[in-house]
Structure 1
Amino acid sequence: MTTQYMKVSRIANWTSTLDVKLPKSLDDALAAYDALRYVETGHEPVIDPTKLKAAGVAAEVERVAKELSVNAHLEEAQQRIAGQLESRIIREAAAAVPSVLDQLTEKFDAQAARYVAAAVKLPLDLTSESVVETRDAEVLAALGEATEAAGFLEKVDNWLESLGELPGYSTNPNYEPVLRVTAPDDYKPLYALREAHQARHTADTLLQSVGPVYFAAARNGVEFKMLTPDESTQLLQDLEDGKPLTAGQRFIGVRR
C-alpha cells in the first residue's frame, strides 16, 4: 500500500525529474513539509546513576518524566502537522496536473518525434548482435538518440502511472500499462505493445535500453501521446469496442 509519505516524496521529485514549474502554493507546502523534517522533537533524557542519591531519586524521576512528556507531545505535534501537510500537498498536486501536462507537451512531442526518427533506423530485431553486424555508424548514432529519448519518455510514463495515487485520478483496475504514453488507433498494434510489455524483462539489453514498448510503438506506427489514467481506460474501452466479433460471438448473437 502506498503511504501518504511515499506519495509526497514522489510529488517532491516532479520538478527535478520532469523539469517543470509547480504552482507557488504547492511549492510552499513542499518547502514547509521539508522544513518539518528538521524540527527538533527532543532527546532521550540523560540519566547518570552515579550521581543519584536516595534523597534526590524522586526529583530525578519527576525530571525524566517531564522530559519524556515534552518529547512525546513534540513528536505527536510533528506527526499531526506532517499529516495535514501531506493531505494538502496531495490535493494541490492533483490540481496541478493540467499545468504539468501543458508544460510537458512540447518537450514530450519533441522527444517522441526524436525517438521515432531514431527507432526506424534500427534493426527490427534489435539485439547487440544485429547492431554490431550492421557496421553502420548511423545505426549506432540512432541507438544513442533512441536511448536518450526513451529515458525522457520513461520519466513521463512513470509520472503518468503515479497519477493514479492522486484524488480524481484513481487508477481503474483494468488500467492498461502500455497506454500511458502510446495511443494506438486499432486493437492490432495494442497486441504488439502488450507482447513487448510482457517480454520486457527477458528482452535483449539493447532493446531494454530503448524501451521494448516504445520500440514496438514506433515500428508499428503508433502515436505517442500522454494519457491520464481515465483517458487510458477510455482508450482501452474504445479499442476493445472496435474489435471485430469472433465467430463464436457472432454465433450467439453478441452485439457491441
Structure 2
Amino acid sequence: MIYEAELTVQYIGRWSTDLGLKLPNSLTHKLTMHDEVGYLSDPDLSVDLEALTMENLEATVDSLAGDLSAAAKHKEAARRIRDGFTRGILREASSAVPDMIEQLRPGFEKAVADYVEAVSELPSDLTSDGLVKAGPEALAAFQAAQTAKATISAVDSWVAKLLELPKYVGKPDPVLRVLKPTTRDELSKLLTAHSKAGNALENQIGPLYFVAAKEGIEFTINTPQESEAIRAEIDAQPQPKRTGERWVSVR
C-alpha cells in the first residue's frame, strides 16, 4: 500500500512535466520536501578497525551502539516525515483535480475537434490499401488523427490514475473516461470497440475514439464519479426487447 502511494506521488510529480499543468504552490512545495527527505543521508556508522586496541575496544563498541540507536531513530523519523508528506500530497492533489481538468480542457477540446475532423476525412475502408487508394489527403488526415489521438490518450491516462487518489476511489470504467454516451446503443458500441481487436490502422488512431467520432458520441473529461453517473443514467434506461423483427423498449 505504501509502495503504491509512493508511485502515485511520483506520478503527481510528473503532472507538470508530462501534461504542462501548473500545480498549486503548496503542492509543489510538498512534492519538493517529500523528495528531499528521501535524499537524506544515513549517519556514518563506519569503524576504523585498524585503530582498535584493547584499551579502546569497549568504548568503541559502546559508541557504535549509540550511533546505531541514533541511526535507527533517524531512519524512522525520516520515514514518518516522508509518509506525512505523501498523505498531504495525495489529499492536496485530490483537491486540485477540478483545476487540473480546467487546465487540460482547452488542449483536449482542440485535439478532439482535430480528431473528429480528421476521422471524417478517412475512407470507409480503413486499411493500408484503402488509405493509399484514397490519396494524399486521406493520408494527411490519418496523420492528423494520430497526432490528436496522442493528446486525447494522455488525458485518458491521466483520468485513469485519478482512481489512486483518496477522493476519487472507484471502479475503473475505461470507455467512459473521456467519452459521454447517452444511450444504451452508444455505450454498447463503445464497449464493443474497447473489447475487440481493431485492425492495424484503427489501433494507431484508437479504436474506441474512432468509433466515438464516427458515431457522434461526445468527448469530455470525466472523473471516476462522473463516469459512474453516466453509466448509472444509461443503466436506468428501458431495456430493449426484441419482438419478431422489431425492437421495443420496455421497463
- Indicate conservation of the 8 Å contact 1:128/1:204, yes or no: no
Alignment-derived partner of residue 25 in structure 1: 26
Distance 1:11 1:125, change over 3 A: farther
Alignment-derived partner of residue 83 in structure 1: 83
Please, what TM-score do these two structures have when normalized by structure 2? Answer: 0.89
How far is 1:255 from its partner? 7.1
Residues paired across the two proteins, number: 245
Alignment-derived partner of residue 165 in structure 1: 164
Q: Distance in 2 between matches of 1:244 and 1:64?
A: 75
- Indicate conservation of the 8 Å contact 2:111/2:151, yes or no: yes
Q: Distance in 1 between matches of 2:231 and 2:46?
A: 62
Question: Deviations for 1:73-119, whole angstroms, at most 9, x for unmatched residues?
Answer: 22111110010001111111111111111112222111111111111
- Indicate conservation of the 8 Å contact 2:90/2:165, yes or no: yes
The answer to whether residue 217 in structure 2 is matched with residue 222 in structure 1 is: yes
- Percent sequence identity is 35
Q: Cα RMSD between the aligned structures?
A: 2.2
Alignment-derived partner of residue 143 in structure 1: 142
How far is 1:14 from its partner? 1.1
Alignment-derived partner of residue 96 in structure 2: 96
Q: Distance in 2 between matches of 1:5 and 1:125?
A: 46
Deviation beyond 6 Å, 4+ runs, structure 1:
none
How far is 1:60 from its partner? 2.5
What residue ranges of structure 1 are gaps of 5+ in the alignment?
Answer: 249-253
What residue ranges of structure 2 are gaps of 5+ in the alignment?
Answer: 244-248
Please, what TM-score do these two structures have when normalized by structure 1? Answer: 0.87
Question: Deviations for 1:105-150, whole angstroms, at most 9, x for unmatched residues?
Answer: 222111111111111222344333432343x111121111111111
1:177 to 171, 174, 178: 174
How far is 1:239 from its partner? 1.4
Question: Deviations for 1:136-179, whole angstroms, at most 9, x for unmatched residues?
Answer: 1111211111111111111111111111222221213xx42100
Alignment-derived partner of residue 204 in structure 1: 199
How far is 1:232 from its partner? 0.6
How far is 1:220 from its partner? 1.1
The answer to whether residue 188 in structure 2 is matched with residue 191 in structure 1 is: yes
